[in-house]
Structure 1
Amino acid sequence: MGKKLEYELQINQKEAERVEAVLHLLKKQSPPLTLKQEKFCNNACVKRFLKCKGESVKKAAKQLRACLSWRESIGVEHLMADEFSGEIADGVAYVSGHDDQARPVIIFRIKQDYQKLHSQKHFTRLLVLTLEVAIQSMAKKVDQFVLLFDASFFRSASAFMNVLLGTLKMVGEFYPCRLHKAFVIDPPSVFSYLWKGVKPFVELSPITMVVSSLDFEESLEFSDFASYPRASSLRFDPSSVSSTAKIGSCSSSRFSFTVSHSLDSLKPWHLSLTDTSASKVGPTTPALVGPALISPLNARSYSFASPVARTSRGNACPVKKSFFPSTPLPQKTQVMDRERINHPRTPKPSFLQSPALFFRKECHVSRADKCRESFVPFLKFYRRPYDEMTYRSKMRPPLGGLISTISPQLRRRHMSISQRF
């Protein structure tokens, strides 16, 4: 334990030295840092920039200086919610809540025509305001957020790609190590092909996933799905068979066949679409066949039955019949113990599976499943209806604007009608 503590102390000391080196480089550069900029460049902020740049002091100082210049050009210190009253009322970009790890979940529901009606700087300021509100609502030990991009309002895949890449680039450069996961929900059909080509050049692409809301229409949890029988099953559902006729001509829910009485016929059987279970063919006395009723195991032809159905027929021993008379065999003197007989199991049908699955890698097969499983904890935030007052309550002055100074008793609860449920 003593060596472990010494190792941790050495690591913390090296991190503190690198943080001091970055701050020293920033103070040497011109123009000098303002009070608000010095407050922004705290130890946690410098550590995130160092982690993003591989613990390089010069690269971290350079990117941090670029971030400070960008924040000054955007006017982050003067952002107010009153500038985006229309967007906040419609829920274009907002903080929906916090996940199990207290990370804020941000939802972007931007329409395709929004950028045509507003300038790029106005759109960037809206995104920055939403990110700043999410950062303000974080707990002390939390420093990451989750992004949900609702792309269902876009008809053009290239238009949405521009919005997505611009947002991810801004987050990666000016909010390093802040993004935990990003989900693209219901993008246009061509988006997946464009994303494959752009993905290697996007820094945050490993934590960006594409999902479809159609996969979660039944329920929030996968355990709520009803258990249906497999489509490739070779057995009938017992509840679907309600016939009580004795063994005669074999019938099922799909077809039936009857054996001809004439022995010289070329086709001793013929198919029919009618139920012929009432007719009896051959000897049906209890001494030879037994009063066995039609069940899911015998209500079909022997060629389609499972091996268990072909070998076991209740308590009566199977009697092989032939269309031509033969010499009867002597009766058996030994009684076979059916419990010792190991009936072969029904083989798992593999002819319904695609052969391409055997040549795929496991990572490609389970990629979609991993994306769906990762999105399940955030599905409730995506489906939750937007409440403007709940979102405004997360804003602290001066981001909240003038409305944040009004007493909560005088606020009117506003539910946006443009949100999908």
Structure 2
Amino acid sequence: MGKKDQRQKENKKIQAVLHLLRKQAPLTLKQEKFCNDACVERFLEARGYNTKKAAKQLKNCLAWRDSIGTDHLIADEFPAELAEGVAYVAGHDDESRPVMIFRIKQDYQKFHSQKMFTRLLVFTLEVAIQTMEKCVEQFVLLFDASHFRSAAAFMNMLLATLKILADYYPGRLHKAFVIDPPSLFSYLWKGARPFVELCPLTMIVSSLDFEESLEFNDFISYPRAASLRLDPSFVPSTNKVGLCTSSRFSFTIAHHFDSLKPWYLTLKDTSTSKVGPTTASLSSFGPTISPLNVRSYSFTSPTTRGPYDNIGTVKKGFFPSTPMPRKTQTLDMSTIKHPRTPKPSFLRSPALFFKKDFQLTRTAKSRESFIPFLKFYRQTYDEMVYRSNMRPPLGGLISIISPQLMRGHMSVSQRF
């Protein structure tokens, strides 16, 4: 009963808005078709279900649409824009919302008036609304700002677009992404955010953050080498590698030593062309160089690193002329005073309140929100695919001609 009562109240408010509109001036047939229940409900929701404010905004919207001439917009008015892909509907997301992409260059405003840009924007919005299903009411906007050099010029275009969406298309915008804006745009946007109605739905992202996306890069990712270590899996099965050119040293690779340096050098006589360690004693040919004594103990692996007593025994045969001194004092571990870790305080430091954690969180949220729409931003533009989504009269003369006539015309033209 609660939902039913709420729905009845909403219907009464919708009828009240329509009554105020008809009271001021009679509505035309096209205006009656435009002011359906879903449209009036979006205006009510945008104005906090205030009937007077919603009726006033809807009246201004109808007057603005008549001044723009939305009923007479066709694709033949924008041949260059459609050929270059300046503004188009790229497709639909997982929720069947149309995704529009605007790749407007900075020089476009030099050769076209603001009214021309507004008509192009409205034309693209109307095409997106035509492609919506019955249960879908919102769309997504992607602004490619990489072609702008001036942050102020792009800011003016963005604010004009968001104002049109807020005033004449309330409740239609799901999310808007600004991709690769100029360097100073973030500072201008920070100052303009409090005065923009749709600022919570507008996010700034960078395409450089998605260069390593596996969905669009067909390369195989290999793990990075942490150091120049020998991988035992690539070592041949033999334990001896080649003949050493020196007459005093031989180089041998073994698999049972430390994995960091599985090798050792042996001082021996190789005049008989023998490779590998021999059974000769260390007294005749010198000590054997192995991972246990070839490196400093500060850089050895944890497996070969042991207590200080073991170090003395290892170095005993390597330096016979300089014996290690014995320990005369024993270290009492109980006398060592370790630094105390301060207990966490309940009250946070005042300096933590000035950290910019919210900016990092906002950037991370923007990146996660933009991932589902990355494929639309990177896919190539096809004019014929975009024109196929246009319904009469927006499609112009090309949409009126049937596909059969189009194929027949192309086949006749190709003959000559």
TM-score (norm: length of structure 2): 0.72
Instruction: Classify 1:7/1:238 alpha carbon distance in 2 versus 1 (closer, same or farther; 3 Å).
Output: farther
2:101 is matched with which residue? 107
Query: Structure 2 matches for 1:50-61, cutoff 5 A?
Result: 50-61=44-55
- Aligned letter for 1:370? K
Aligned pair 1:239/2:231, yes or no? yes
CA contact (8 A) 2:178 2:203 kept: yes
Runs of 4+ in 1 over 6 A off after TM superposition: 222-225, 240-243, 356-359
Distance in 1 (CA, whole Å) between partners of 2:354 and 2:365 is 20
Q: Percent identity?
A: 62
Which string of whole-angstrom CA distances, capped at 9 and with x for unpartnered residues, describes residues 345-387 of structure 1? xxxxxxxxxxx99974543323222211211111111111111
Q: Which runs of 5+ in 1 are unaligned?
A: 1-5, 254-275, 330-355, 413-421
2:11 is matched with which residue? 16
Q: Secondary structure at the match of 1:37?
A: helix
Q: Which runs of 5+ in 2 are unaligned?
A: 236-250, 268-280, 328-350, 408-416
1:160 is matched with which residue? 154
Distance in 1 (CA, whole Å) between partners of 2:15 and 2:264 is 91
CA contact (8 A) 2:180 2:205 kept: yes
Which string of whole-angstrom CA distances, capped at 9 and with x for unpartnered residues, describes residues 374-411 of structure 1? 11111111111111111111111111111111122454
Aligned pair 1:98/2:92, yes or no? yes
2:392 is matched with which residue? 397
- Cα drift, residue 219 of structure 1: 2.7
Aligned pair 1:196/2:190, yes or no? yes
- Cα drift, residue 299 of structure 1: 8.0
1:44 is matched with which residue? 38
- Cα drift, residue 226 of structure 1: 3.3
Distance in 1 (CA, whole Å) between partners of 2:324 and 2:109 is 89
Query: Structure 2 matches for 1:172-183, cutoff 5 A?
Result: 172-183=166-177
Query: Structure 2 matches for 1:321-336, cutoff 5 A?
Result: 321=315, 324-326=322-324
Query: Structure 2 matches for 1:13-412, cutoff 5 A?
Result: 13-29=8-24, 31-221=25-215, 226=221, 228=223, 237-239=229-231, 278=265, 294=291, 301-304=296-299, 310-311=305-306, 319=313, 321=315, 324-326=322-324, 360=355, 362-411=357-406
- Cα drift, residue 186 of structure 1: 1.2
CA contact (8 A) 2:266 2:288 kept: no
CA contact (8 A) 2:264 2:290 kept: no
Instruction: Classify 1:300/1:245 alpha carbon distance in 2 versus 1 (closer, same or farther; 3 Å).
Output: farther
Which string of whole-angstrom CA distances, capped at 9 and with x for unpartnered residues, describes residues 113-134 of structure 1? 1111112111101100000000
Instruction: Classify 1:391/1:46 alpha carbon distance in 2 versus 1 (closer, same or farther; 3 Å).
Output: same
- Cα drift, residue 244 of structure 1: 5.5
The alignment's C-alpha RMSD in Å is 3.7
Q: Secondary structure at the match of 1:209?
A: strand
CA contact (8 A) 2:266 2:289 kept: no
Larger Rg: 2
TM-score (norm: length of structure 1): 0.71
- Aligned residues, how many? 339
CA contact (8 A) 1:218 1:225 kept: no
